[in-house]
């Protein structure tokens, strides 16, 4: 009994050392002061450094020097600010330190998101109610003017046409290519997928330049260097300025072909991965039941890759809502091919109507927002189902 009692004898309480006050609920005000001073001085210094790049570039002599200082200042400055923030939090009482330490690494990033994303959105909404040079508020007049203009209505219709055609065709071709590539040998599948995915490495502007050569026009009697006109004249037709043919929205459809060409590789990769993830047991069970390959695809494969199909469709849909480069490079909105993003650029740069341009952006944002919300909810449902 005495031995049991001796083993349970409590050790004497250890006195806290002077260098770990936070563990015992006391604050180290020296650390707090150093942390606050360091964060403030670094923030002030970095802000002035980056402002000087824009206002006084002559101080640095060359743009390469500015770029180098921006990289060094950004990386080293961020590391130093986190270091001082860590010192600041460590100097706080233990219970407060425990709660604030994770936030130290989250709040700066959240603050940058607010600065770079939330603040510009709020300012854009604000400017949409202002005049051309943002010096006076004009209420809803920018929105009234935009919605009553034929050019905006035509742009809306074109965007709707893009939304109806591009995501659906991209997903459909992506599924077909993924299924067919899966039938090839391992080496053949790699080669085919690499070739189809290759356009993803090209920028929208570069792709537009390539397809401009395809749609190129030469006068009748001259050698047609454009592939489409060469084929068309070879079949007995007259050469056409294809991007000026607005009948049945042909020129807009030809522009859509470029975006589909760029995005099919993306759709194929994701859909191919989803198809390969379909359990072989379900496929074999369907074959034993006498189902044809087409029936297996529609009744077994498609339901199991539905989540990936929706993800690809929404991703391409959001991209289509923001399409700009292709239209700007090839037609600049002429011949009834304008879209909302290109109309915004025209209003802001060519016509210098900042208020109307901001209103167009707000309308585009409102169009994209429901799709983004749906995508986030769909992603959460997919994660919860796993």
Dist. CA 200–CA 207, nearest whole Å:
9
Cα–Cα distances in angstroms (integers) from residue 337 to residues 151, 154, 159, 248, 344, in the given order: 10, 8, 9, 12, 14
Q: Is the dihedral of CA 23, 24, 30, 34 positive or negative?
A: positive
| Entry pTM | 0.76
C-alpha triplet 57, 61, 64: angle, nearest 5°: 85
pLDDT of 19: 47
Read off the tokens for 233. Answer: 């004249």
**Any idea of the CA torsion for 56, 57, 61, 63, to the nearest 10 degrees?**
170
Count CB-CB contacts under 10 A for residue 127: 20
Backbone dihedral region of 220: left (phi > 0), alpha (psi from -120 to 50 degrees) or beta?
Answer: beta
Contact (CB, 8 A) for 364 and 322: yes
| pLDDT for the residue 196 | 92
Domain final residue pick, 69, 95, 128: 128
**Using CA atoms, how far apart are residues 270 and 21, in angstroms rounded to an integer?**
53
265 touches 198 (CB < 8 A): yes
Q: Are residues 180 and 314 in the same domain?
A: yes
Same domain, 121 and 154: no
Q: Radius of gyration over alpha carbons of the chain, in Å?
A: 30
The pLDDT score that the predictor gives to residue 182 is 86
Question: How many structural domains is the chain composed of?
Answer: 2
Residue 363 lies in a domain: yes
Please check whether residue 13 lies inside any domain of the structure. no
Greatest pairwise CA separation for the chain in angstroms? 115
Q: Domain range holding 81?
A: 29-128
Is residue 301 included in any domain, yes or no? Answer: yes
SS3 percent helix, strand, coil of the chain, rounded to 5, is 75, 0, 25
Question: Do residues 250 and 376 share a domain?
Answer: yes
Structure tokens belonging to residue 4: 């049991």
In a domain, 138, yes or no: no
Three-state SS at 130: strand
Residue 357 lies in a domain: yes
Q: Please write the tens of the pLDDT for every residue from 158-182.
A: 999 999 999 999 999 999 999 998 8
- Residue-wise pLDDT for 308-343, tens only, equals 999 999 999 999 988 999 999 999 999 999 999 999
- Is 52 part of any domain? yes
Q: Which two tokens stand for residue 38?
A: 């360091």
- The answer to whether 241 touches 217, Cβ cutoff 8 Å, is yes
Residue 229 and residue 119 share a domain: no
Cβ atoms of residues 337 and 251 within 8 Å: yes
| Residues 320 and 365 placed together within one structural domain of the fold | yes
* Domain assignment present for 204: yes
Per-residue pLDDT tens listing for the chain (386 residues): 444 444 444 545 444 444 444 444 678 889 989 999 999 999 899 989 989 998 888 888 888 999 999 999 989 998 998 899 889 888 888 788 888 888 888 887 888 888 888 889 999 999 999 998 888 999 999 999 999 999 999 999 999 999 999 999 999 999 999 999 888 888 888 999 999 999 999 999 999 999 999 999 988 878 888 999 999 999 988 999 999 998 989 999 999 999 999 999 999 999 999 999 999 899 999 999 888 888 999 999 999 999 899 999 999 999 998 899 999 999 999 999 999 999 999 999 988 899 999 999 999 889 888 888 888 888 888 778 76
What's 338's domain CATH number?
1.10.3720.10
Give the model's pLDDT for residue 134: 85
Does 249 share its domain with 165? yes
* Nearest to 82, CA basis, from 105, 99, 101: 105
Whether residues 226 and 262 fall in one domain: yes
């Amino acid at each position: 009994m005495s031995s049991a009692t001796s083993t349970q004898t409590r050790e004497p309480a250890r006195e806290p050392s002077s260098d770990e006050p936070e563990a015992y609920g006391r604050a180290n005000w020296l650390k707090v002061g150093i942390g606050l001073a360091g964060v403030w001085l670094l923030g002030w210094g970095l802000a002035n450094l980056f402002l000087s790049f824009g206002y006084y570039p002559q101080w640095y002599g060359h743009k390469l020097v500015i770029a180098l200082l921006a990289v060094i200042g950004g990386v080293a400055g961020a590391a130093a600010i986190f270091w001082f923030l860590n010192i600041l939090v460590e100097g706080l009482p233990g219970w407060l330190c425990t709660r604030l330490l994770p936030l130290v690494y989250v709040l700066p990033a959240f603050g940058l998101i607010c600065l770079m994303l939330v603040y510009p959105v709020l300012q854009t909404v604000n400017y949409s109610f202002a005049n051309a040079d943002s010096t006076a508020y004009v209420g809803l007049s920018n929105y009234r003017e935009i919605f009553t203009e034929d050019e905006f209505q035509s742009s809306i219709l074109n965007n709707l046409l893009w939304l109806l055609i591009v995501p659906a065709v991209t997903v459909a071709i992506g599924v077909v290519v993924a299924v067919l590539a899966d039938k090839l040998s391992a080496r053949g599948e790699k080669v085919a997928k690499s070739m189809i995915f290759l356009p993803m490495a090209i920028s929208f502007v570069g792709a537009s330049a390539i397809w401009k050569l395809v749609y190129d026009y030469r006068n009748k009697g001259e050698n047609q260097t454009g592939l489409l006109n060469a084929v068309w004249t070879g079949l007995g037709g007259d050469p056409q300025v294809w991007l000026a043919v607005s009948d049945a929205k042909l020129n807009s459809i030809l522009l859509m072909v470029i975006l589909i060409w760029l995005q099919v590789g993306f759709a194929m990769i994701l859909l191919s991965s989803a198809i390969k993830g379909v359990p072989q047991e379900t496929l074999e069970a369907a074959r034993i039941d006498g189902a044809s390959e087409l029936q297996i695809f529609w009744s077994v494969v498609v339901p199991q890759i539905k989540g990936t199909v929706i993800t690809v469709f929404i991703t391409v849909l959001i991209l289509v809502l923001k399409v700009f480069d292709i239209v700007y490079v090839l037609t600049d909105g002429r011949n009834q091919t304008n879209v909302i993003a290109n109309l915004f650029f025209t209003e802001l740069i060519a016509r210098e109507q900042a208020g109307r341009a901001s209103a167009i952006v707000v309308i585009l944002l409102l169009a994209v927002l429901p799709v983004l919300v749906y995508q986030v909810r769909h992603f959460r449902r997919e994660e919860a189902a796993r």
